[in-house]
Structure 1
Amino acid sequence: MNEKYHIYLPLWPKFSWTEEEKASLPVAFKDRFDSFDGDLPVTRLESWRAFHEFVEDSRFRNDEFIFRGQQRSNWDLIPSLARGKVGGVFTPEQSMQCLDSFRRASRGRKEFDPMLDDDLEMWALGQHHGLKTPLLDWTLSPYVALFFAFEKPDIDSPSASDSRVVFALNKSRVEARIRELKQESYKDDQVVRIYQPAGDSNRRLLSQAGLFLAVPPNESVTGWILTNFGGQFDDEADLSQIIMKVHIPNEEREECLRSLHRMNIHHASLFPDLIGSSAYTNFEFDVYRQNIVLPAGAGI
């Protein structure tokens, strides 16, 4: 379909259509909806500016939710270890092989830290340094998630989507369900886990109010959530108390980043290293200084 996909989605705070609205949806949209959003509660904002109103919703007042921003609307919640794999999942064997290989390859290249004997701590270290892992980055800050949704430019790319996405997940409800499953003798590799590393090696995570969602083998985040919560709710609006996917028009990216910059959310504050310094300088040049005309004979 040539028209923008996201404009046919329910407008926040709705998560479903009336029967009349549903009947008028283009067939091409319905096909893409099954591929892009499936059974998740999904809504859209009219612009990134409406994100402020979204964040003020009463369900977010008790800090029970965590957030994740993604550049493309058709990307599912798939950790890097599972990307490109059949069904978007990884096997226990693939996970074990990857972690064992990283342990061997990193010997003598990291500081001694007894906490790295824990698999999740080791995965977290690898995530920080570009390793394919079963971890997904989330944040306690919805505005940090918005930053990562809009961080990279792609609106002119042939594969660009017409919306960016922020996911919201009810951390408290998921953790409560994990405790219930553990009491039913479920093992760690059978449940998702929300995890904050105990070590001091990941300064970025602290700056980003970050935490990880560890995905179990042979599972997807979406599938696990729907399996463990889908039967408890009557419709999408109810299920949105657990998880939601919010589409934001892929427009006015620079204005969005300027607004976040005024809130001290930018590369230099979120990446406390030279990579962050370089990215921040590039951002300042691209967004603030690219139209400056220097006087004749002036140099940089």
Structure 2
Amino acid sequence: MPSSSNHDLHLRLPSGHWQALQKHCAQTGESASAVIRKALGDFLDLEHHTIWQLSTSTAVVEGVFGEALKVSDLPQHGDFGIGTFEHLDGEGILLDGLCWQARADGSLIQAPLDEGIPFWIASRFQSEKQFTLEDVQSLEQLGELLDPFRPSANLFVAIRITGTFNQVLVRSVSPVEEGATLLDAAKAQTTFRHQAIQGTLVGFWSPTHASSLNIPGYHLHFLSDDRRHGGHLLDLRADSLQVDFDLESNLRLALPETREFLMADLSGDPRSALEQAETKAG
């Protein structure tokens, strides 16, 4: 899968434009480049501030793990994101247009283009707000430190966090038999603890009102800089981390047309099962 590319553009702005841009950035915390990208996106009618999601959290809880699309379909929808693979064969990380598969045996591979995906969340990441967090001692504390930087409890946020981690605890799940639920899969997860490791956290914050569609709260996957380790984040410690936010106000939902999805009972409330499956280390 080809990686995404960025291009530098040097502009000479009239003084009035420059002063207005600086005032806007000071008020909102956005970078000048983010404002210019958004303005160009509006003028050129390009898709931005959009999360694309395949399937729903309720379907995942109920064990709808069959192939709905393939890894090769992801570039149409984003260059950044997280998800899983057919029958829950590992944790997925999409970063800079490349899709990685963290498997239950601890291996990390670039996901084959023909690998099936049942659930995925993707966006075209453009940093709008950047800041540093110091002395992060747990995943719970990370959420508490991030919360004040979110402008609303009702919008989605794409989150990229980079730095050296004193410790990360990640998990990956193994392929499950047909009929298994997400809680069944979580009971058989494999956890890995890495120390003094450089890497990136890729993920999203989703509002509670979208819990039947998405996993509410912070959902992050880890990818090491040396591309040897990865997985669903369960805990961490770090002295200093660089955080980038991309605020997302549009949600595009792609529902599978597979028989498995069409026949599933998706009427239940998935929140309790999601909390158990996504936050517990076995």
| TM-score, normalised via structure 1 length | 0.27
In terms of fraction of residues, the more helix-rich structure is 1
In terms of fraction of residues, the more strand-rich structure is 2
| TM-score, normalised via structure 2 length | 0.29
